[in-house]
Homo-oligomer: A and B are copies of this chain.
Amino acid sequence: MHETTRLAGLIQERIADTIDRHRRALQPLGPDASPLLDEALTFLAGGKRFRAQFAALGYRAVRPLNLDERVGTELGAVLDAACGLELFHAAALIHDDVIDRSDTRRGRPSVHRLFEAGHRERHWRGASDHFGLAGAILLGDLLQSWADELLQAACDALPDRSAAARAREHFNRMRSEVAVGQYLDVLEEQIPGFAEHAEQLERSTRVLVYKSAKYSVEAPLLIGAALAGADEAQEDALASFGLPVGVAFQLRDDLLGVFGDAELTGKPIGDDLAEGKRTVLVTLTRERLPATQRRIFDDLLGTDLDREQVAILQRTIRESGAVERVEEMIARNVDRATGALQGAPVRAEAAAALSGLAERAARRSF
């Protein structure tokens, strides 16, 4: 636990330094640009930092890394990569919230809502919500560039060129897959009616794998490991561990999106239901519902729900047995992940830490 806290502190420092550096570089553009930089800093102060932790552990799976020493070239490179992942994630969330019309994030108004409110308070011209949209698109674009710069800095700092190239490959694949995965997720919500069960489950699972599981766990791990010069066997082992952890992570997210405590998740209760997300949880629920009940369920999903309607949907999901099934899937995936580390060619202390982090990712309540 000491290491998690220490890493979180180092990441926060480095993020603040990064934004400060950009603030200085952008000074010639005048003080009007400040809201972008201020919001970047505030937004990035939040979050669970799972990606940063997995990246650091991916590195430690291959090479020792002492978080307590002075930050030199090697630790600096790992921190840059980890911060790059956090910035990229922030960019993705800011754009996602526009796309999903989410009003809150991490317990605060989402970025487009913040820029919208600023516009309204100042009695500016034109539509406040459209200004909010513009601010969120541009801040997301900026953070995406800065994320890439950080990853680049990490790659440049290390002497092993082929290791750097591998890390870039994983980062690039991740970026493409998460954008397309998000597109497929949005697409699902547009198509009227559901596919028959087997196909729908396949579609929900595909979104889960590409939009979240690979992105949240497997890719950060592999980027960290590649930077440390991992060989193929090590990368394979970490992928075999990372993918099921990522699946468990997202299945937990699906449960939290329906049953989570708004105080802890920072998102309104039943958020996923109002958005009409076709998660694995929803797909498993529908499989077990009698036709009439399924029709009612389908009609409510993806509409503006009041508290009572959210409660009805929650009860339906629970009574269908889908919650237990998803909990079983989570447990099975964590077991599979832990199993993949048995006898794997990764450093023992890192394997232990990875198992612990897998548990935390799968059991979290926010």
Contact = CB atoms under 8 A, between A and B. Distances in A.
A163 B277 CA distance: 47
B146 A148 contact: no
Interface string A6-29: 000000000000000010011001
A352 interface: no
Interface stretch (A170-178, A228-236, A241-249): A170-178
Interface string A172-190: 1101110111111011011
Contacts of A135: 183, 186
Contacts of A146: 176
For chain A, what secondary structure do more than half of its interface residues adopt (helix, strand, loop), or is it mixed?
Answer: helix
Given A26-B177, A172-B145, A183 B98 contact: no
Interface string A106-135: 000000000000010001111000110111
Given A99-B134, A175-B145, A176-B145, A125 B189 contact: yes
Interface string A240-276: 0000000000000000000000000000000000000
Contacts of A325: none
Nearest to A164: B156
A99 B138 CA distance: 9
Contacts of A125: 189-192, 302
Contacts of A140: 137, 141
A140 B136 CA distance: 14
Contacts of A51: none
A187 B32 contact: yes
A175 B152 CA distance: 14
- Copies of this chain, whole number: 2
A180 B124 contact: no
Contacts of A95: 137-138, 141
A147 B311 CA distance: 46
Contact of A183 (B33, B101, B123): B33
Given A29-B210, A138-B99, A190-B131, A36 B180 contact: yes
Contacts of A22: 176
A29 B181 contact: yes
A190 B137 contact: no
A210 B33 CA distance: 12
A3 B296 CA distance: 65
4 nearest A-B residue pairs (beta carbon): A124-B190, A145-B175, A99-B134, A142-B179
